[in-house]
């Protein structure tokens, strides 16, 4: 306030100054470069797995909050943030985002060639920097990224399914919940003789194919013809098994069949996409444009699914989506992170013109309040429900619109042994 008064008084003394473009520059205390003063990371359990949270502070008393995608412990990401990212960032201008991401990516490339935990750590930092950029410019992040046609909300799909797909009663119960909460799409795991993470091979037996055909038929009958159903395969199968499954569920008209082949690109993806009667989607395990490029340019899928927390952050996800648009390929988002990263990801999704749907988790057994997704929404201090009628709500507040409830995190969600940041 004193600075503003000084400039106004000076302008009255020298009237020409009032017409100078430098008047607003001087009057706005944020017109000078904002400098990063600290980067901190704590391990929390605000989602269904450990969530490393990132806090970036500045000399302008502005704070950015981010969240990393991680596994069950989160320690690797925290170490990289504290010992690699922080020395690069302190003293820098957060608006120099692309330069700083390049510096961190180069410095951590030997942790896995810009794959894995190092990229997860940098992405959590990048989210916090975007939050800062929004606060510096006094704009929501989805506006800074270009706005797009999704100006107030982003369509979501519930990553959930009936308790028992082969039970028509169970499917009816699930359908009632979906319709009552306003969902328009869901993604449901296929039925296997074993759990997907305990499989010994890539073969799908004929009895398993038959059971899946029946289970998804039950879901279609219960949910109705307008509701979108995605078939979730967890990158399990060889070409023959994937094609047999696609043909078996084709009558259900799934919106897509997800990850039917193993993660890496090869020509089998192109062959499957050409022969499958169901749209093929993949992407949740891919990092950066380099991983997505062969799938896109060789037409090895019908839709891509970007996990923004894994793929490299908002800036990288935007570049991937732009490449996909050149080939008329729609974009979806995978998302198994907590509520902060979910909001960050939704801000990206809002800027993609050919966006289809954003992943959201509700608990199973079924969550009946329909408000919170991917963890406790109360930690966000959000100005609206996170999910409403099957859509993630976007805030018009600066940054991601989050006012982090640090008291709740400290009392309830800190990992054992962690201390709250300063």
Q: Kindly list the strands in the beta sheet with 51-58, ordered across the sheet, starting from the edge strand earlier in the chain.
A: 36-44, 51-58, 63-67
Q: Whose CA is closest to 65, among 128, 4, 10, 113?
A: 128
Share of the chain above pLDDT 90, in %: 72
Summarize pLDDT for 191-249 with one digit per residue, the tens. Answer: 987 665 556 778 899 999 999 999 999 999 999 999 999 999 989 899 999 999 999 99
Summarize pLDDT for 71-84 with one digit per residue, the tens. Answer: 666 678 899 999 99
Summarize pLDDT for 152-185 with one digit per residue, the tens. Answer: 899 999 999 999 999 999 999 999 999 999 999 9
Do 285 and 260 meet the contact criterion of CB atoms below 8 Å apart? no
Gap between the terminal Cα atoms of the chain: 27
- Please report, for residues 142, 184, 421, the alpha-carbon distance to residue 65 in angstroms, rounded to integers and kept in the order given: 16, 31, 12
pLDDT of residue 315: 95
pLDDT of residue 109: 83
Provide the mean pLDDT of the chain. Answer: 88
pLDDT of residue 180: 92
Minimum mean pLDDT range among 2-16, 236-250, 357-371: 2-16
Confidence of residue 11 (pLDDT cuts 50, 70, 90): very low
365 vs 323, more confident: 323
Which stretch, 21-25, 142-146, 259-263, has highest mean pLDDT? 259-263
Q: Whose CA is closest to 281, among 317, 253, 255?
A: 255
Share of the chain above pLDDT 70, in %: 86
Which stretch, 7-21, 86-100, 377-391, has highest mean pLDDT? 86-100
pLDDT of residue 32: 67
In eight-state DSSP terms, residue 85 is I
């Amino acid at each position: 306030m004193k600075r503003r008064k000084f400039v106004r008084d000076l302008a009255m003394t020298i009237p020409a100054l009032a017409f100078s473009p430098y008047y607003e520059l001087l009057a706005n205390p944020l017109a000078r470069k904002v400098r990063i003063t600290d980067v901190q990371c704590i391990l929390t359990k605000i989602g269904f797995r450990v969530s490393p949270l990132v806090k970036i502070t500045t000399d302008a008393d502005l704070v950015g909050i981010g969240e990393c995608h991680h596994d069950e412990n989160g320690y690797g990401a925290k170490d990289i943030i504290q010992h690699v990212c922080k020395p690069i960032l302190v003293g820098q201008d957060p608006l120099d985002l692309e330069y700083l991401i390049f510096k961190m990516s180069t410095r951590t490339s030997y942790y896995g060639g810009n794959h894995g935990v190092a990229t997860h750590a940098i992405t959590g930092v990048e989210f916090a920097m975007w939050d800062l950029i929004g606060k510096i410019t006094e704009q929501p992040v989805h506006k800074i990224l270009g706005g797009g046609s999704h100006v107030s909300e982003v369509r979501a799909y519930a990553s959930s399914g009936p308790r028992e797909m082969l039970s028509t009663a169970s499917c009816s119960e699930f359908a009632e919940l979906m319709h009552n909460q306003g969902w328009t799409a869901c993604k449901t795991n296929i039925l296997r003789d074993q759990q997907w993470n305990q499989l010994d091979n890539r073969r799908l037996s004929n009895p398993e194919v038959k059971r899946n055909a029946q289970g998804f038929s039950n879901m279609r009958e219960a949910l109705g013809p307008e509701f979108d159903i995605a078939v979730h395969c967890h990158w399990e199968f060889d070409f023959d098994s994937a094609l047999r499954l696609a043909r078996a569920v084709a009558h259900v008209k799934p919106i897509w069949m997800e990850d039917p082949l193993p993660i890496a690109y090869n020509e089998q993806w192109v062959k499957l996409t050409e022969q499958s009667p169901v749209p093929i989607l993949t992407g949740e395990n891919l990092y950066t444009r380099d991983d997505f490029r062969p799938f896109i340019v060789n037409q090895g899928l019908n839709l891509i699914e970007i996990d923004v927390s894994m793929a490299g952050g908002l800036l990288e996800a935007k570049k991937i989506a732009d490449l996909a648009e050149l080939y008329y390929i729609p974009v979806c988002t995978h998302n198994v992170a907590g509520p902060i990263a979910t909001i960050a990801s939704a801000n990206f999704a809002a800027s993609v013109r050919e966006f289809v749907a954003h992943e959201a988790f509700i608990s199973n057994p079924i969550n009946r309040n329909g408000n919170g997704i991917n963890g406790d929404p109360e930690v966000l201090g959000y100005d609206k429900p996170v999910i409403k009628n099957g859509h993630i709500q976007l805030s018009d507040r600066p940054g991601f619109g989050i006012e982090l409830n640090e008291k709740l995190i400290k009392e309830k969600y800190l990992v054992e042994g962690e201390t709250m940041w300063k």
